Amino acid sequence: MRDFQQPGRSTVFSTNGMCATSHPLAAKVAVQMLEAGGNAVDAAIAGAVLLGICEPQMTGIGGDCFVLMQKTGDTDAIALNGSGRAAMGTSSAEMRDRGLKTVPLDTPDAVTIPGAIDAFCKLSKDHGKLGLKAVLAPAIYYAEAGVPVAPRTSFDWKNDATVLKGSAAQFYLLDGKVPTAGQIFRAPEQAKVLRQIAEFGRAGFYEGEVAEDMVASLNAAGGCHTLDDFAATSCDYTTPISGTYKGTELVEHPPNGTGATAILMNNMLAQFDLPSMDPFGAERAHIEAETTKLAYDARNRFLADADHTTRVNHMLAPETAQRLAALIDPKKAMESPAAVSEQVHKDTVYITVVDKDLTSVSLIYSIFHSFGSGLASDKFGILFQNRGAGFTIEEGHPNEAGGGKRPMHTIIPGLLRRDGEVIMPFGVMGGAYQPNGHVRFLTNLVDYEMTPQDAIDAPRCFSEASGMRVESGYSDTVKQELRDLGHNVVTNSGPIGGAQAIYIDRENGVLHGASDPRKDGCALGY
């Protein structure tokens, strides 16, 4: 039980419907959609689009989304891939000829065609009740009237505003300065775009003056994007993948998403006795870090646009996890996971909604890095994502950049199920951290019997190329123990990611909402 004399956040309970997301206005609007007779799809779209106004550094209509949902009574989950493709003129050979080693983060080379709006339109048409005009109305209102900048949003804005260039600086700075907490941010030009979408559907975004503005702006910055690239954008329904961890099924998107990485990590961690380890001690953090290194190496080798090539079955195979787990030394950090595993292999917002019928939606929506590419369209101020930086330009690699391809994607919504029924839609934001975040959240629940709120509140660590990033929630003693094991421990300057979840207590008919204190948001129900 929570110690009520200590800072913390209570679980939110409701019976008719609930939303958990990273900004309170978006949660409020989602619940209003439910109260007005809408379903979880209507609420999720309304809240998500508004998040692009509330947290423009994290997401926006120039980005991508992935959606997992399961309707009450259905045995199968639905996966909708709303990630965009590279412009047809994209060429990794041409980038190599320019002397590039990677796709630049801040040029049109990294700008893939936005896929989220097409996905929202399709989701609304196929599964919503209220229609686009109703679900986009709140975002249109707040884009014009303005939103007070929230504390975490202000923190991110200040840290990352230097990436804003040209038109982006004009639209996302106030008189040339970073907005502070409590200042009003408005995006009236985006309201015009949303009105076009409300009136004409996807054509209001991918054709006509909005598309012309995006193409002209990208071309002026040196891009190869065309109106045909935008007009051809189309989301896809796919078949979810899943894996079971000690009786709980984790449902994920197939590639080009990285959900297979989380399933591989779970399968590896199942080889260790996590419950015997201190949940916030060095032993667990070390095993998780070594698992992360090996699983992310597999991700880098194999995950790509499924229309081209991928080895997801290899990643999901139990024997792959067993062989990788056997490479982990409990007493020493590995220096090169790629070399060790050779013998085996030959920024973002999240919203979840559950409605009164227990239809569950898990939706993640992103422009990748903070403020995406730092580029925006000249007329409407649409921030362009830099999701193309998820490509490699290595010749012959499955994830090699190329025209019409989708890059390997970091954003992954999640669903937890037992016996085929959804028990919890959830998501963990944080760029590359997300598969690790899914695994940390699930093992907190299963191995340490934490509540969803406690599992979200718990300290995080993440091993990547620059070192092992460790949140301040870990003690100095644990940090030193990790250094002694060979980890390059780096105290993180800010929080690692953010998470939201809704647990469905079917026996009592109650929804349990959990929301990350690392973000500005909350869980709300009615």
232-277 pLDDT, tens digit each: 999 999 999 999 999 999 999 999 999 999 999 999 999 999 999 9
Dihedral angle sign, alpha carbons of residues 492, 442, 243, 361: negative
pLDDT band for position 88 (cuts 50, 70, 90): very high
Q: Region 11-17: what's the mean pLDDT? A: 97
Contact 26, 342 (CB under 8 A): no
Triad 417, 420, 425: Cα angle to 5°: 30
What confidence tens digit (pLDDT) does each residue in 141-156 have? 999 999 999 999 999 9
Whole-number pLDDT of residue 345: 43
| Residue range 457-489, pLDDT digits in tens | 999 999 998 899 999 999 999 999 999 999 999
How are beta strands 467-470 and 489-491 bridged, if at all? parallel
Q: List all residues 6 or more positions away from 203 whose beta carbon is below 8 Å from its beta carbon.
A: none
- Cα dihedral sign for 8, 11, 17, 18? positive
Average of per-residue pLDDT values in the chain: 95
Q: Within the chain, what is the greatest distance between any pair of CA atoms?
A: 63
Q: Would you say 239 and 78 are in contact if contact means Cβ atoms under 8 Å apart?
A: no
241-257 in b/e burial notation, b at 16+ Cβ within 10 A? bebebeebbbbbbbbbb
pLDDT at 346 over 90: no
Residue 309 has what pLDDT?
A: 62
pLDDT score, position 248: 98
pLDDT at 272: 98
Q: Which residues, in sequence order, are bridge partners of residue 79?
A: 68, 238
Cβ 362 vs Cβ 413: under 8 Å: yes
Q: What is the pLDDT of residue 336?
A: 74
The fold of the 238-346+411-492 domain, in CATH, is Serum Albumin; Chain A, Domain 1 (1.10.246)
Q: Which residues are catalytic?
A: 348
Query: What residue ranges of the chain are covered by domains with CATH 1.10.246.130?
Result: 238-346+411-492
Q: What is the distance between the alpha carbons of residues 195 and 190, in angstroms, rounded to a whole number? A: 9
Which residues are bridge partners to 121 per DSSP?
none
Type of residue found at 366: S
Band (306; pLDDT cuts 50, 70, 90)? confident
pLDDT band at 305 (very low <50, low <70, confident <90, very high): confident
Band of pLDDT at residue 418, cut at 50, 70 and 90: very high
Residues 6+ positions from 353 with CB-CB distance below 8 Å: 17, 18, 19, 30, 34, 40, 43, 44, 47, 360, 361, 363, 425, 502
Q: Residue 493: its pLDDT value, please?
A: 82
pLDDT > 70: what percent of the chain?
Answer: 97
Tell me, what DSSP letter sits at residue 448?
Answer: H
Look at residue 465 in the predicted model and tell me its pLDDT: 85
DSSP notation for 264-322:
HHHHHHTTS-GGGS-TTSHHHHHHHHHHHHHHHHHHHHH---TTT---HHHHH-HHHHH
Residue 12 has pLDDT above 60, yes or no: yes
**Residue holding tokens 């412009």?**
87
